[in-house]
A and B are shown apart, each in its own frame.
Chain A
Amino acid sequence: MKIYLLSESPSGYGLFEGHGSDEIGQNTEAVRSSVSDLTRFGRVVQLTAFHPFQSALDALNQINAVSEGYMSDELRSFLELNLPKVKEGKKPKFSLGVSEPKIGSCIFEATKIPCQSNEFVHELLRGVRQHFDRFIKDLKPGDLEKAQLGLAHSYSRAKVKFNVNRVDNMVIQAIFMLDTLDKDINSFAMRVREWYSWHFPELVKIVNDNYLYAKVSKIIVDKSKLSEEHIPMLTEALSDEDKAREVVEAGKASMGQDLSPVDLINVQTFAQRVMDLADYRKKLYDYLVTKMSDIAPNLAALIGEMVGARLISHAGSLTNLAKCPSSTLQILGAEKALFRALKTRGNTPKYGLIFHSSFIGRASAKNKGRIARFLANKCSIASRIDCFADNSTTAFGEKLREQVEERLDFYDKGVAPRKNVDVMKEVLENLEKKDEGEKTVNASEKKKKRKTEEKEEEKEEEKSKKKKKKSKAVEREELTATDNGHSKKKKKTKSQDDE
């Protein structure tokens, strides 16, 4: 009775034939002793066929099938090709050894190849696994490990639902790029102005904007050739006919020196470069906006893309931002002032990067600190939703923004804001209505919503407790900055203890 062995590896499927099975019989002990020695084992088991996987995607499909215990089409064709044919009605004279019975029964149902997966097969497969790379001649040492690494990564990514679009690294890089670009464009633009002013000094005073200056200098080129014909083009660039006329007039009476054609060409190319960079900056900004709406839509809806991206890049990643307490989020970016204040026992800063969102500017001086704290709390909620929720929607972010607006109104006029519990309920109801309207409700989605509801309810309880404390503080009107500093210190030590 011949026994074949199916061995699945990350590089491909291998089929082995167990020879000395008649001598060994079905004795596991004997197999074990033979496994340790390659030459002995080589006589027991020999390679029949090896089918390498065509691509990484192919390998991923195969491992998904194998781990579930199903037989994929590729496996089926491999087996049918390399095993002796099973004749109808006759009992086959061989059997296929597999690692587990589930895949064995699948194979048997489809192809009538009898499978077994007992201890004897198990021992043989151990030997195959141990000496696998020696059997397959094509595999160089180290190939198998690399294949394992690559396949494991793609398999695990599929398991954790790694979504390439939701990688926050791009936002961090984009924000750095934007800052660098701004600096560079500015220095280049200043250079263009200085350079061209050698030729046409009056233009600097007429055209103030850097980008427009570069454009205009490209149109004019040589001021001696400036005439009435250029006015329409200049008007188009400057969008102001009076200014265009001014430029032409100034050109006629200009004090600047003449430049040779070669010099003028140089200035032209440089001006073109500046314009290209400025256009690229615009595109990069749009890219950043789209990326932010992909990875952190709620944060972007609440405080805007730029501030949100800066927060994420300062914290290191979206997960880090979500992990840190809201008091940290409040003073992210003002670390120097914070530690100086802590060391000298002064007043700690009230806001860091958060300051650049529009809300802080709109609050009166007395309420800036309170709004900063409130905003930081809401930003924390938004970033946590963005980081850990499965589906991305801006519903929460918009409602949180409304809440901040309401609080601003409260400080201005005394209009009582809605309770957080009610607002969150509204959001969840809206989300459910939207889903029902689209008729895409299925059981798992409902469960997810219940889970997020439970999560939100837990957060709501915490937030409603904090809100009660806040409203008490407002009535007192004695909350000074040092008080804020002290409570921040307490919160900080708490977070240290937690860590």
Chain B
Amino acid sequence: MKPPQRGRGGGVRGGRGLARGGEGSAVRGSGRGGESGRGRGPGRVKSESDGGIKGGSKVLVTPHRHAGVFVAKSKSDALVTKNLVPGEIIYNEKRIFVQNEDRSTVEYRVWNPHRSKLADAITTGVDNIWIKPGVKVLYLGASSGYTVSHVSDIVGPEGCVYAVEHSDICGKVLMNMAEKRTNVIPIIEDARHPAKYRMLVGMVDIIFSDVNHPEQAKILSLNASYFLKSGGHFMISIKANSIDSTIAAETVYQMEVEKLQMEELRPTEILHLDSGEEKHACVFGGYRLPRK
């Protein structure tokens, strides 16, 4: 079980000033600590927007097996990425500041596996996410841009993330985020018609799909035929209930995998993510991989 948290400590003081809009963040720190000064009582709410990491305690940040991702070790571990735009946070996430030998601070943002399926896959232990510094990623179903921001942290200024999102409201938030991060290219368009945004996208190395649509296999394969290079990779997150809520989850995953295989998308890994309430699976694979 996670130990009780201390109220907002040293490193994260900046967050309160910036995250004014999320009144909740200021409240969360002390609102519950009404009983005993700074300490938090037992019985925490399950859905925290941080990764369970304390603010001011001693934290050691080490690189993860996947390039571009880091692990922050203290009393409880958390997945973090290096902030591409120091000083800016997207969603009231916690930040960790680490001092270098030359006295400069590096800023890391905590990545919450409950919020982001990619983080969930990494913590579950996927073999290879294929996303690393310098690659180009096409992200279908970007939503408000939480995971997109972390992917943009990983690929760094050399790579770029084409974020496709259809909804207007999420699109506005996505565009605000993209204004601060120049390696995110926001495309407010329907992912079912890649021809509509073909002018905006170049060839990408990886496609990441989180659209939760019954025809998502077809969407992925159509986008891959337009934009994914031969030998590129993909990741698709499948929510069993979105495809067909009447049949068993494993059957759904099997069906989707078969659909993908027909379109030259060869899956290499299937991960079951059961940490949330819904049954999810993440399928990783390659496109037009050369036959050995």
User: Could you say which residues of chain B place their CB within 8 Å of the CB of A332?
Assistant: 23
CA distance A316 to B47 in the complex (A): 24
Q: Which of A99, A100, A130, A156 has the most CB atoms of chain B within a 10 A radius of its CB?
A: A156
| Stretch binding the partner chain, chosen from A145-153, A207-215, A276-284, A454-462 | A145-153
| Cα A145 to Cα B182 with chains together (Å) | 10
Q: Say yes or no: B21 contacts A35, CB within 8 Å.
A: no
A148 close to B34 (CB less than 8 A): no
Chain B positions within 8 Å of A, measured between CB atoms, are: 20-24, 26-28, 30-34, 37, 45, 47, 49, 160, 162, 168, 171-172, 175, 178-179, 182, 185-189, 195-203, 225-227, 229-230, 288
Expressed in whole angstroms, the Cα–Cα distance for A399 and B189 within the complex equals 38
Instruction: Verify B187–A155 contact, CB threshold 8 A.
Output: yes
CA distance A323 to B196 in the complex (A): 33
Report whether A160 and B172 are in contact in the complex, using a CB–CB cutoff of 8 Å.
yes
Residue of A8, A36, A160, A497 touching B198 (CB-CB under 8 A): A8
Contact A156 B187, beta carbon cutoff 8 Å: yes
Alpha-carbon separation in the docked complex, A323 to B19 (Å): 13
A69 to B197, CA, bound (A): 11
Q: How far is the CB of A342 from chain B (nearest CB, A)?
A: 5
Chain B contacts for A8, CB-based, 8 A: 198-199
Q: A152-B200, A342-B31, A492-B31 are in contact. Are A499 and B186 (CB under 8 A)?
A: no
Cα of A151 to Cα of B200 in the assembled complex, Å: 7
Contact A317:B21 (CB < 8 A) given known A156-B186, A343-B33, A343-B34: yes
Which residues in window 1-50 of A have CB below 8 A to B? Answer: 8-10, 32, 35-36
CA distance A36 to B199 in the complex (A): 21
Note all chain B residues with C-beta closer than 8 A to A323: 21
For the complex, give the distance between the alpha carbons of A155 and B230 in Å: 28
Provided the pairs A130-B229, A151-B200 are in contact, do residues A100 and B27 lie with their beta carbons within 8 angstroms? Answer: no
Q: Does A493 sit within 8 A of B, measured CB to CB? A: yes
Asked whether, in the complex, the Cβ of A152 is within 8 Å of the Cβ of B186, the reply is: yes
In the complex the two chains form, what is the Cα distance from A342 to B28 in whole Å?
Answer: 12
Please measure, in the bound complex, the distance between the C-alpha atom of A464 and the C-alpha atom of B195, giving whole angstroms.
Answer: 49
- For chain A, what secondary structure do more than half of its interface residues adopt (helix, strand, loop), or is it mixed? helix
A339 touches B30 (CB 8 A): yes
> A153 touching B21 by the CB < 8 A rule?
no
- Contact A497:B202 (CB < 8 A) given known A67-B197, A156-B188, A316-B21: no
Q: Which residues of B lie under 8 Å from residue A314 when comparing CB positions? A: 20
**Can you list 10 A-B contacts with CB-CB less than 8 angstroms, sorted by A residue number?**
A66-B199, A67-B195, A126-B225, A129-B203, A159-B168, A160-B188, A314-B20, A324-B21, A332-B23, A496-B24
Closest to B19 in A: A316
A144 in contact (CB, < 8 A)? yes
A460 CB to nearest B CB, Å: 23
Complex interface: chain B residues within 8 A of A493 (CB):
31-32
A63 at the interface (CB under 8 A from B): yes
Which of B26, B31, B189, B201 interacts with A67 by CB under 8 Å?
B189
Q: Is the CB–CB distance between B186 and A495 below 8 Å? A: no
Please, which residues of chain A bring their CB within 8 A of the CB of B172? 160, 162
Docked pose: A157 CA to B201 CA in angstroms: 17
Q: Which residue of B lies closest to A151 (CB)?
A: B200
Contact between B199 and A151, CB atoms less than 8 A apart: yes
B27 x A159 contact (CB < 8 A): no
Decide: A342 and B34 in contact? CB cutoff 8 A: yes
Q: Known: A160-B175, A342-B34. Contact between A320 and B202, CB under 8 A?
A: no
- When distances are taken between beta carbons in the complex, the residues of chain A under 8 Å from B203 are 126, 129-130
